[in-house]
């Protein structure tokens, strides 16, 4: 069995550490290829009324979010519905420079602050790797229901 010098071991450890750091920063191995931003994430409305907010997709370089199949959105709270109003797409892909407009309607909620979770489904693909995956993220908004 060959012996490894401490210098060789340090170089191997340094290479491994650099590779691991690159993978984490690129999202490789963590499954994080698309960042999402909700704006505003907190708003006020009356029961039965609707309010619009936006979701911005922020894919890492080399990843795009597809316009087809269409995005899906589903509330995880009874009495609150979400509807995708407008999607900006250039050809077959979402335009990451423009947000997606979402309409939120709150019914059957008591006055006060509520954290409303919802799931957002989308498809994203790698330009270089020629693969696609389904994304399904759980997001939330804080809604203050006024009388």
> What is the distance between the alpha carbons of residues 128 and 79, in angstroms, rounded to a whole number?
43
Q: Where are the domains of the chain?
A: 1-32, 33-146
Instruction: Print the SS3 string covering 51-98.
Output: EEEEEEEEECCCEEEECCCCCEEEECCCCEEEEEEECCEECCEECCCC
Architecture of domain 33-146: Sandwich (2.60)
Are 65 and 124 in contact, with CB atoms under 8 Å apart? Answer: yes
Query: What is d(CA 107, CA 130) in angstroms, rounded to the nearest whole number?
Result: 43
Quickly state the pLDDT bin for 9 (edges 50, 70, 90): low
What does pLDDT average to over the chain? 85
pLDDT surpassing 60 at residue 143:
yes
Q: What is the pLDDT of residues 56-105, one digit of tens each?
A: 999 999 999 999 999 999 999 998 999 999 999 987 899 999 999 999 99
Band (pLDDT 50/70/90 cuts) for residue 129 is confident
Contact between 36 and 137 under an 8 Å Cβ cutoff? The reply is yes
Nearest CA to 112 out of 75, 77, 147 is that of 147
Question: Per-residue pLDDT tens for 29-48?
Answer: 335 899 999 999 999 999 88
Q: Check pLDDT > 90 for residue 119.
A: yes
- pTM, two decimals, is 0.75
């Amino acid at each position: 069995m060959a012996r490894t010098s401490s210098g060789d071991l340090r170089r191997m450890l340094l290479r491994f550490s650099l590779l691991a750091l690159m993978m984490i920063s690129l999202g490789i191995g963590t499954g994080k290829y698309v960042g999402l931003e909700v704006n505003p994430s907190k708003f006020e409305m009356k029961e039965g009324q609707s309010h619009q907010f936006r979701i911005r997709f922020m894919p890492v370089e080399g990843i795009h979010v597809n316009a087809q199949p269409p995005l899906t959105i589903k509330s995880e709270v009874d009495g609150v519905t979400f509807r995708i109003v407008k999607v900006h797409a250039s050809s077959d892909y979402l335009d990451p420079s423009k947000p997606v407009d979402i309409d939120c309607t709150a019914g059957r909620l008591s006055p006060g602050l509520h954290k409303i979770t919802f799931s957002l489904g989308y498809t994203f693909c790698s330009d270089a790797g020629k693969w696609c995956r389904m994304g399904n993220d759980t997001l939330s908004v804080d809604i203050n229901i006024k009388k």
